[in-house]
């Protein structure tokens, strides 16, 4: 009986999350009501409130879940050499590709979500703790990581919005080249 309840809870949460993502493709979170989410999910409002406080709580849980997934994904690898960093960049881009609809929606400029800030904060911690070859300290390290991370996020957003027109390996190469060699070190192609 318990596993049946757990499956039902998982299903309900999945349908509510999917419904909110669909609505976010059309309008901002501030314009979305719990009633709309429930209608699209074919779930009654009392069921919604058994799981989430409001539409903002649901959005927050979706964003946090993605950050947790990325954390678990990154914890499988250790940054030691430049090649390892490339592999991790490629794996993270693979992750974004596997969740491209959700990520593109959450990264959208039209949406008022905190997703980009959460990804920035997450990546900032990873960068400062593990990036190989980063010998800068203090504010210089903070500025460098902000530059690299925000640039990388915008490149990934652009790639998602362009229908993922390059392979994940190609995108990892572009980002890796920009990080390690800068604009002047980029190969034409």
Is 12 buried (19+), middle (13-18) or exposed (0-12) by CB count in 10 A? middle
Indicate whether 97 pLDDT > 90. Answer: yes
Backbone CA torsion sign across 171, 176, 178, 179: positive
Write out the residue limits of the CATH 1.10.357.10 domain(s) in the chain: 61-185
| Tokens linked to 165 | 């027109």
Give ∠ CA 186-188-189 in degrees, rounded to 5: 125
Q: Is the pLDDT of residue 109 over 90?
A: no
Q: Determine the CATH number of domain 61-185.
A: 1.10.357.10
Domain 2-52 matching CATH 1.10.3470: the answer reads no
pLDDT tens string 34-52: 999 999 999 999 999 999 9
Q: Where in the chain is the domain with CATH 1.10.10?
A: 2-52
CA distance 58 to 139: 35
Flag whether pLDDT at 73 surpasses 70. Answer: yes
More confident residue, 31 or 143: 31
Eight-state DSSP code of residue 31 = G
Q: Give tens-digit pLDDT for 122-180.
A: 887 776 665 555 555 566 777 877 888 889 999 999 999 999 999 999 999 999 888 87
pLDDT band (50, 70, 90) for residue 78:
low
The DSSP secondary structure of 95-126, one letter per residue, reads: HHHHTHHHHHHHH-TTS--SHHHHHHHHHHHH
pTM of the model: 0.82
One DSSP character per residue, 36-69 reads HHHHHHT--HHHHHHH-SSHHHHHHHHHHHHHHH
In whole angstroms, give the CA distance from residue 40 to residue 137.
50
């Amino acid at each position: 009986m318990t596993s049946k309840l757990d499956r039902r809870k998982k299903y309900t949460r999945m349908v509510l999350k999917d419904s909110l993502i669909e609505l976010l493709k059309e309008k901002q979170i501030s314009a979305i009501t719990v009633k709309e989410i429930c209608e699209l999910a074919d779930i009654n409002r009392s069921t919604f409130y058994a799981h989430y406080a409001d539409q903002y709580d649901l959005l927050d849980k979706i964003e946090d879940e993605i950050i947790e997934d990325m954390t678990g994904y990154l914890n499988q690898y250790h940054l030691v050499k430049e090649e390892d960093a490339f592999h991790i960049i490629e794996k993270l881009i693979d992750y974004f590709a596997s969740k491209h609809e959700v990520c593109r929606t959450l990264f959208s400029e039209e949406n008022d979500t905190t997703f980009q800030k959460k990804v920035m904060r997450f990546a900032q911690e990873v960068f400062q703790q593990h990036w190989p070859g980063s010998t800068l300290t203090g504010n210089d390290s903070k500025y460098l990581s902000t530059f690299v991370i925000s640039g990388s996020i915008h490149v990934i957003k652009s790639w998602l919005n362009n229908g993922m027109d390059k392979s994940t390996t190609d995108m990892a190469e572009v980002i890796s080249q920009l990080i390690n060699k800068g604009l002047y070190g980029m190969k034409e192609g």
